[in-house]
Chain A
């Protein structure tokens, strides 16, 4: 394994590989800096350890309330908010649904979701390109979702960073619209690997675009063989029932898991 980024390209650069993945460096310095006596400290700390600990706490919080939390991720404009609006309206009376909206700025999406009557909290991430677990924790504190409810978290529109940050959700659901390229799963493999379900939205537009549903499904399965795919249109309602069936199965598992 090369250490191409350590910037120490001198002949005195030594590697000691111990187990193949972890290796220590000893640098014999040819550099011209002054030597203060130093101590080497082993840290071995995952950078996301704090986020993951808060995510675990969120997950336990959801479990204690027998709730289902879903993290919706997509590119900007794939139709997450329209999907939320329709889902809330169609499932009205069947489930309590709360929404946590993440965007860099504005509360436009919150206002749209609020018009459905569902409780909704907007989390503005400012310069952040993704939601983090502690923003969700603070959002929950404000939203106070009901036991046995469904929490739909609309992440910031971005197919890169949200893949890295566990929020405590039961599952990530990635939404792709047919106006995007059908090679997206190959271009953003992390996200498609992290999600057990892909929703292909705006299928009412299929006659007008060069988008191959079979190809996108195959691409997604190249990176994640277990990913399920549902084609739907949040505008016309076509295919939405399959998404509701998926939600119902997940909700059933989440509410029963509390006693498992």
Chain B
């Protein structure tokens, strides 16, 4: 259930870095010991991203064996 709060934070991190540009893809690393469930984050992401710069963005989640939960990269539209 805390994935909801985590996903809000993920979208906030992405949108802050993206400024006004549209986000096409977000890559996350979810550690085995991070206490977060990738499926739940993926479930929350589409809903929370709606109406933000990350609406419709694709979320790629990679499991790692650490305990971190990180937004590693994003793809944004090129500046006009």
Residues of A at the B interface (CB closer than 8 Å) are 1-8, 21-25, 36-51, 127-130, 132, 160-161, 163-165, 190
Contacts of B77 in A (CB 8 A): 36-39
Q: Which residues of A contact B72 (CB under 8 A)?
A: 22, 24, 42-44
B75 within 8 A of A: yes
- A6/B9 contact (C-beta < 8 A), A38-B77, A42-B72 known: no
Cβ-closest chain B residue relative to A188: B35
Main secondary structure of the interface of A (DSSP, over half): loop
Closest Cβ of chain A: how far from B17's Cβ, in Å? Answer: 6
- 15 sample A-B contacts, Cβ–Cβ < 8 Å, listed by A number: A5-B38, A5-B63, A6-B62, A22-B64, A39-B75, A41-B76, A42-B73, A45-B17, A45-B71, A46-B68, A47-B10, A48-B69, A128-B2, A128-B5, A130-B2
- The secondary structure that dominates the B interface is mixed
Q: Are B73 and A43 in contact (CB under 8 A)?
A: yes
Known: A41-B74, A130-B2. A190 touches B65 (CB 8 A): no
Q: Are B6 and A8 in contact (CB under 8 A)?
A: no
Closest to B14 in A: A43
Of the candidates A22, A25, A48, A165, the one whose C-beta lies within 8 Å of that of B60 is A25
The winner among B29, B42, B77, B78 for most chain A CB atoms within 10 A is B29
Complex interface: chain A residues within 8 A of B60 (CB): 3, 5-8, 25
B residues near A21, Cβ cutoff 8 Å: 29, 64-66
